[in-house]
């Protein structure tokens, strides 16, 4: 392929606190790019991904996005990971009329002609997870999350579901995520005698789980862990068993297509590589982009956007369909922590998103 490459920018955290997820995203993008190029590229042009480290910092993310669009001339941008950085770069994306392929689960609401979401929004997780927890473990809840947009919105959406199930919310707290000693907080949760801990704390706050295990909290409370992925599990050191999550991908699945995908990632990244839903959703984003450009018949931002709307692709877990609201209907799975990994409890089938857009655009 001697043609000029189609350049895609990736604004991802490779430092600053959530780099684990940036590395996962890169695994998916690299695999997709390699497969696309091995198959002859897109409309005869090779694909080139240009990476920028947003350092988990909104100002850096904006600067990186502008550089990729203005200087590198990318056709589209993939990333970032955090909602803060998504919200920070949204005005730049819209002003520069460049598609953003966002492949991290988030709180919804980023509704724009120029933004496409390839992972889950609150209803795709909560509407399945909470009824299962309520029926299986009890109807009293404590909510614990980081003081960021995503946990606030997840809990806001969870509340009517819990009340509709006849459940009771006995407490709710938001932390900085920078605490190192969670003993007083664990004591407050124990005192409520809640049966389910709805948990939305990532990054540094993951140390809560081994401390909760050591202090006996997890003997009496079952954790419904929002956004948990295989990437997070090493932080628990084998503690935190039997925690539940709803995700779009479980690496240990016995689905042949998932097994094949995991094997491909490990062949590229090493046998010890962790493969989470972040790998798959970022992979899906580039596969969808290729399909859209081929449907459009030309390499053009606006034509690509038009072709992405309503597009269906096959992912390792089955069909992924992009709606008019630019969010995806996809297969979801109830999973739990068991041993060193996540295992599927139940395949939930295709679940449509409710991203909270004010219109279909």
Q: Which domains does the chain have, with CATH numbers?
A: 6-120+253-331 (3.40.50.2300), 122-247 (3.40.50.2300)
Each residue's pLDDT expressed in tens, for the chain with a length of 361 residues: 568 999 999 999 999 989 999 999 999 999 999 999 999 999 999 999 999 999 999 999 999 999 999 999 999 999 999 999 999 999 999 999 999 999 999 999 999 999 999 999 999 999 999 999 999 999 999 999 999 899 999 999 999 999 999 999 999 999 987 788 999 999 999 999 999 999 999 877 889 999 999 999 999 999 999 999 999 999 999 999 999 999 999 999 999 999 999 999 999 999 999 999 999 999 999 999 999 999 999 999 999 999 999 999 999 999 999 999 999 999 999 999 999 999 999 999 999 999 999 754 3
Give the chain's largest Cα–Cα span: 67
Nearest residue to 212 (alpha-carbon basis) of 146, 126, 144, 138: 144
**Residues 6 or more apart whose Cβ sits within 8 Å of residue 185:** 144, 173, 175, 179, 208
Beta strands in 92-166 (DSSP E): 100-102, 115-117, 140-146
Tell me the H-state helices in 138-227.
149-164, 183-192, 208-214, 217-220
Q: Please give the C-alpha separations between residue 295 and each of 1, 95, 118, 174, in angstroms, as whole numbers.
A: 20, 25, 19, 45
Cα separation, 327 vs 193, in Å, equals 38
Identify the residue whose tokens are 């409710």. 354
Beta-ladder partners of 167: none
| Strands 100-102 and 341-351, sheet pairing | unpaired
- Residue 176: its pLDDT value, please? 83
Cα separation, 9 vs 51, in Å, equals 6
Tokens of 154: 């997840």
| CA 352 to chain CA centroid, nearest Å | 16
- Residue 361: its pLDDT value, please? 38
Classify 22 as helix, strand or coil: helix
Strand order in the sheet with 76-78: 47-53, 6-12, 76-78, 100-102, 115-117
Q: Please give the C-alpha separations between residue 3 and each of 39, 46, 294, 323, in angstroms, as whole numbers.
A: 14, 7, 16, 32
Classify 86 as helix, strand or coil: helix
pTM of the predicted protein model: 0.96
- Residue 71: its pLDDT value, please? 98
Cα separation, 293 vs 41, in Å, equals 11
- Residue 340: its pLDDT value, please? 93
| Strands 244-247 and 312-315, sheet pairing | unpaired
- Residue 2: its pLDDT value, please? 62
| CA 84 to chain CA centroid, nearest Å | 14
Cα separation, 122 vs 144, in Å, equals 16
> What's the chain's Rg over C-alpha atoms?
20
């Amino acid at each position: 392929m001697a043609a000029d490459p189609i350049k895609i920018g990736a604004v991802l955290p490779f430092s600053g606190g959530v780099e684990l997820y940036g590395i996962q995203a890169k695994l998916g993008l690299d695999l997709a790019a390699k497969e696309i190029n091995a198959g002859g590229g897109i409309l005869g042009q090779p694909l080139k991904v240009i990476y920028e480290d947003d350092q988990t910092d909104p100002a850096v993310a904006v600067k990186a996005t502008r550089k990729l669009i203005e200087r590198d001339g990318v056709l589209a941008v993939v990333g970032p990971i955090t909602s803060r950085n998504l919200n920070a770069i949204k005005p730049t994306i819209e002003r520069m009329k460049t598609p953003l392929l966002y492949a991290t689960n988030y709180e919804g609401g980023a509704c724009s002609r120029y933004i496409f979401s390839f992972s889950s929004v609150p209803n795709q997780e909560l509407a399945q997870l909470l009824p299962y927890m309520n029926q299986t473990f009890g109807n009293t809840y404590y909510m614990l999350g980081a003081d960021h947009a995503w946990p606030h919105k997840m809990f806001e959406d969870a509340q009517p579901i819990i009340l509709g199930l006849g459940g009771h919310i006995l407490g709710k707290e938001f932390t900085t995520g920078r605490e190192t000693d969670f003993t007083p907080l664990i004591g407050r949760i124990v005192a409520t005698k809640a049966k389910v801990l709805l948990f939305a704390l990532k990054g540094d706050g993951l140390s809560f789980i081994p401390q909760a295990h050591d202090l006996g909290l997890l003997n009496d409370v079952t954790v419904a862990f929002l956004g948990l992925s295989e990437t997070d599990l090493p932080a628990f050191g084998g503690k935190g068993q039997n925690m539940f999550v709803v995700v779009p991908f479980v690496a240990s699945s016995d689905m042949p297509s998932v097994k094949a995908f995991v094997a491909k990632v490990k062949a590229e990244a090493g046998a010890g590589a962790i493969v989470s839903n972040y790998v798959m959703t970022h992979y899906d984003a580039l596969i969808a982009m290729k399909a859209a450009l081929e449907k459009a018949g030309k390499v053009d931002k606006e034509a690509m956007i038009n072709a992405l709307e309503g597009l269906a692709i096959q992912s390792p877990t089955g069909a992924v369909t992009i709606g008019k609201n630019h969010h995806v209907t996809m297969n979801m799975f109830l999973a739990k922590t068991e041993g060193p990994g996540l295992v599927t409890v139940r395949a939930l089938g295709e679940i449509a998103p409710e991203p909270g857009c004010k219109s279909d655009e």
